[in-house]
Amino acid sequence: MKKIAVIGVGRFGTNLLNTFSQLSRQGRCQLVAICDINPETLKRQSEKYGVRGYLDYREMLQKEKVDAVAIATPDPFHREPVLYAAGLGKHIFVEKPMDTTVEGCLEMIQACENNRVLLQVDFHKRFDPYHREIARNVREGKIGRVEYGYVHMEDRIEVPWKWFPGWAPRSSPVWFLGIHFFDLIRWIIGSDGKRVYATGKKWKLKSLGIDTYDAVSAMVEFQNGAAVTFDLSWILPEKFEAIVNQGLRLVGENGMIECDTQDRGTRVCFEKEGVMTYNLGFLSEGRNKFGQIEYSGYGIESIADFVYNLEYLDKGGSVAELANTISGLGRDGLEATKIAVAVHRSLETGQLQEV
């Protein structure tokens, strides 16, 4: 049974902890230690999950006998812990975006190859059953060659403004949101990015003291000719019905597919909260028939997939074989980052950019 440590146990790191704890209870892995540079976060999480806590991941990885690490530090801070852990021969699960530079991704891939460890990126959109069905239909040629498409992913403004104003200026709606769908579209259509034109605004968040893009519209042409426009923003009003709004459509020579991946049909209105819609398909905290807490959803499945991959490797499987599965690996992280980097270059230059 593989021993796992988590680095960065803030808001999303909690989902990693919930998933690995759940799998620990099922005897499929063992969550042994966590690390966070914030002492309060570290204390709270290590008490809650009953694991040893460290302020420094180097110290943790020197002292603890772990086989694998999962990393959920802020967007620009994935590279160092990945390189350090890979150097010690640990398998790695890293939150998206793998890195915010192409050089960083290449360095991470090389380090993991040199040390013969798995490098997996959390691209949970691949695990959404609606997306899997879209991918199957597209791959079976149901809509013919994809000619064009459209994606929107928008967060409520509290995400950059109140959740992580400290590091939002070092990220963007492209890094935080777009990266999910760059990977998803690339995975569905089986083609890498070719060139990009993007335009964006820095109005609202800048007026609130956060220097990052509010919204970016990017048209990405893929190698196979498909042209997909991505509208990415994180300034929806706090009163919007859900924390995220998202969807996609793809149109091919023989058909089309549309998917609203936010509003899955449940709508409530409570006096205090107002109107709300849910996407329980992503993350859901329920109770099993014995009353124990059970986490489910594609957001959990995508993390659990790392543990299943460790089991696969343990039984003699290879990382190369995993590259042909639903798991997002290092090369997928790199290709999504290449698109995001080209989007930012286009924003800065106002010109069409090669991916």
Nearer to ligand NAD among residue 143 and residue 336 (C-beta): 336
Shortest CB 43 distance to ligand NAD, Å:
12
Shortest CB 41 distance to ligand NAD, Å:
4
Nearer to ligand NAD among residue 76 and residue 317 (C-beta): 76
* Closest alpha carbon to 147 in 242, 223, 253, 61: 253
Nearer to ligand NAD among residue 91 and residue 96 (C-beta): 96
Nearer to ligand NAD among residue 8 and residue 193 (C-beta): 8
Q: How far apart are CA 237 and CA 44, in angstroms?
A: 31
Shortest CB 263 distance to ligand NAD, Å:
18
Q: How far apart are CA 336 and CA 326, in angstroms?
A: 15
Nearer to ligand NAD among residue 3 and residue 126 (C-beta): 126
Q: Strands across the sheet with 328-329, in order?
A: 52-54, 29-35, 2-7, 68-71, 91-95, 119-122, 328-329
Q: Which residue is nearest to ligand NAD (CB)?
A: 10
Shortest CB 126 distance to ligand NAD, Å:
11
Question: Is residue 232 within 8 Å of residue 153, measured between CB atoms?
Answer: yes
Q: How far apart are CA 298 and CA 304, in angstroms?
A: 9
Nearer to ligand NAD among residue 96 and residue 344 (C-beta): 96
The residues binding ligand NAD (CB under 6 A) are 7-8, 10-13, 35-38, 41, 57, 72-75, 77, 95-96, 122, 124, 164, 176, 299
Shortest CB 231 distance to ligand NAD, Å:
18
Shortest CB 223 distance to ligand NAD, Å:
26
Nearer to ligand NAD among residue 240 and residue 282 (C-beta): 282
Shortest CB 220 distance to ligand NAD, Å:
20
Classify residue 105 as exposed, middle or buried by CB count within 10 Å of its CB (0-12, 13-18, 19+): buried
For residue 348, give Cα distances in angstroms to 56, 180, 325, 337.
Answer: 36, 22, 36, 16
**Gap between the terminal Cα atoms of the chain:** 41
Q: How far apart are CA 107 and CA 98, in angstroms?
A: 11
